[in-house]
Structure 1
């Protein structure tokens, strides 16, 4: 896979999907997850501003009723993000912050929710095999063989 260049202020993209796909490829290469932090929409629903950031950004607020048993969190208040408003029909990066406050590991980036995906053909195959009563572990290992090993697989064992 070709290396993705680091985002810089002034970069332009033809649409929001291209911008999002670019930042996700960059994040996967570097070893972090991506989430949409903020968007602004016009009255007709069209997006005119987007902020994409690190999935560990923000603060964790506990929803646990038992204070003595706090639930684990991955939030570290990471400030990594890119801002892109829509300007003259193009999405232009206006500010880029790339400093993470935790260690990155590109080898495990494929396990982040934003980097896992199952294409329509794979979903269809899973459902077809389920109807044929093929056990889930056999189904999973067929994907492993097709991908050329566990390291190339885009999904986790638990389907």
Structure 2
């Protein structure tokens, strides 16, 4: 008996899981979803943009940062009289000016901070969050292809996280888990 008789390959034309009406409906819904995502990808933070919740503002700016190739962190925030957050400033993750007491000649690694002034300010007014100030100018090069390497942009799959937690509870070393 030869291997071709044992394997008996099936072509894609032989497989039919649904009728043609269902295929067209799925294709239409997928194209609408793709168009919506493309429109979201084109958006740039602008003064006057409004959001329902602060989490949506953070997610929007984080997605913009991932597309451009930088990380985001919260620099400052303040609470109002009702102890609710009413102001938040999102900045480039390596923003700031680091002053070291060690002379540069003795340092083995250069500082990671840059004096980059890229940030947005968001204020809660009534029941929505409005972008008040936007500065999107960077004083350094960006690499969108390496954006996934930035700590703030790394994501872990839920199943992988659960497996790592179970292995940790069982006493499996982390190098063996990976």
TM-score range, shorter chain: 0.7 to 0.9
Match of 1:19 in 2: 57
Measured after TM superposition, the shift of residue 119 of structure 1 is: 4.8
Distance 2:154 2:82 in 1: 31
More off after superposition, 128-137 vs 22-31:
128-137
Q: Distance in 2 between matches of 1:12 and 1:44?
A: 22
Residue 4 of structure 1 contacts residue 25 of structure 1 at CA under 8 Å; is this kept in 2? no
Please point out which of 110, 120, 123 is paired with 1:82.
120
1:115 aligns with 2:133: no
Flag structure 1 segments of 5+ consecutive residues without an equivalent: 141-159
Q: Normalized against structure 1, the TM-score is what?
A: 0.75
Number of residues of Structure 1 aligned to a counterpart in Structure 2: 138
Distance 1:45 1:72 in 2: 40
CA distance in 2, matches of 1:104, 1:72: 18
Normalising by structure 2, report the TM-score: 0.68
1:35 has 2:61 as partner: no
Which residue is 1:149 aligned to?
none
Cα RMSD (Å): 2.2
Q: Which has the higher helix share?
A: 2
Aligned to 2:5: none
Deviations 1:99-142 (A, max 9, x none): 000000011111112111335532220132345566645633xx
Structure number with greater Rg is 2
